[in-house]
Amino acid sequence: MPNLKELMQHESFFSPGHRMCAGCVAPLVVRQVALAVGDTPVVVANATGCLEVASTIFPYTAWRCSFIHNAFANAAATLSGVETAYRALKKQGKINKEIKFIAFGGDGGTYDIGLQSLSGAMERGHNMLYICYDNGAYMNTGIQRSSATPLFADTTTSPAGQVSSGKSQWRKDLTAIMAAHNIPYAAQVAPSHFMDLMTKVQKALSVDGPSFINAMAHCPRGWRYDTREGVELTRLSVETCYWPLYEVDHGKWKLSYKPKEKKPIETWIRKQGRFRHLFTDKGQTEIKWLQQRVDEEWSKLLERCKEVG
């Protein structure tokens, strides 16, 4: 378990003063990751997206570490090359200190455009941690749907209206896909449960080989919620079991948090403007379908983790 008092003494590799939107949860994810890392030297690769654009506006940067801006699709490929070069230099005796390698990407650059390079890096076994901050759409380019977008969410490319109830597909289960690569460690986290997030980051960095962490990161612009409620909404995504917290440690599935009382999905989606169209007489059917799918996925996870339902 991370010692917060001790970790707070170290300078974070991600500084205040970035230009992320008010109410955005993504920088909370990065700050908590940085806290968990402490004073360990890191190299960060960042796929093009909200985080990169808002934290590296020339001539300023919010990063106090070695930082590489990558194209939308190749953060994992770039960092795997850097990690390989590091191992070669270490073998030659030109570097003698321990360095950790962390990549950040949004769901557009991870679930979709960057999936090929991510899969390759994981399969090759590079000693690196990839962290996806999942805000459920291509927020930086106009709130287009991604394969992480929830069922029935309204986006600019899956608009809700008279002939559509929003996105018609269930979101891709990327954490399970990464676990299926037989990597040493994969996990799902939420910054509302920060000790769990930090513990998992430290676990991920301690393994020998590739690791992956999927972090819920609410977006006020795309999700259309009160900017004061970002963390509370993140908590509700966990309490409704839409975004369960678990880890896959060397192939063993383990549930990290089980709500004492599982909340209905309506408590989470009601606070988001992207689901406003569901709160009509017609939309009640879609809410029931959504709840049914959440319940099914939760039951599958409990079974995988050998938990009692």
Res. 309: pLDDT tops 70: no
Q: What mean pLDDT comes out for the span 45-59?
A: 95
Q: Is residue 259 part of a domain?
A: yes
DSSP 227: G
- Mean pLDDT lowest among 6-10, 55-59, 73-77, 249-253: 6-10
Whether 177 is covered by a domain: the verdict is yes
Task: State how many domains the chain has.
Answer: 1
Query: Following DSSP, what letter does each residue of 160-183 receive, concatenated?
Result: BSSS-BS--SPPP-HHHHHHTTT-
Element (H, E) at 43: strand 42-47
Identify whether 174 is part of a domain.
yes
In angstroms, the CA 158 to CA 214 distance is 23
Q: What percent of the chain has pLDDT over 90?
A: 91
Locus of tokens 């383990």: 254
Mean pLDDT, range 236-264, rounded to an integer = 98
The pLDDT of 70-77, averaged and rounded, is: 96
The alpha carbon of 252 is separated from its chain's Cα centroid by a whole number of angstroms, namely 21
Residue numbers of the domain that contains 101 = 4-304
Question: Which pTM does this prediction carry?
Answer: 0.96
Let me know if residue 16 belongs to a domain.
yes
- Cα–Cα distance, 228 to 75 (Å, whole number): 31
Average pLDDT, the chain: 95
Q: Give the integer Cα–Cα distance in Å for 256 and 189.
A: 9
How would you classify the pairing of strands 246-249 and 252-255? antiparallel
Beta bridge partners of 211: 129, 185
What's at 174, amino acid-wise? L
**How many Å apart are CA 275 and CA 151, to the nearest integer?**
10
Tell me what pLDDT residue 7 has. 72
309 in a domain, yes or no? no
Residue 111's identity, in one-letter code, is Y
Q: How much is the average pLDDT of 86-108? A: 97
Please report which confidence band the pLDDT of residue 219 belongs to, taking 50, 70 and 90 as the band edges: very high
Residue 189 belongs to a domain with what CATH number? Answer: 3.40.50.970
Residue predicted with more confidence, 128 or 162: 128
Instruction: Read off the pLDDT of residues 264-307 as tens digits, 9 standing for 90 and up.
Output: 999 999 999 999 999 988 889 999 999 999 999 999 999 999 98
pLDDT confidence bin for 17, thresholds 50/70/90: confident
| In-domain check, residue 26 | yes
Q: Per-residue pLDDT tens for 99-154?
A: 999 999 999 999 999 999 999 999 999 999 999 999 999 999 999 999 999 999 99
Spell out where 88-224 has E strands: 100-106, 129-134, 185-189, 211-216
**Rounded Cα gap, residues 266 and 239, in angstroms:** 11
Q: Is the pLDDT of residue 75 over 80?
A: yes
Helix (H), strand (E) at residue 204: helix 194-206
Is 21 or 2 the better-scoring residue by pLDDT?
21
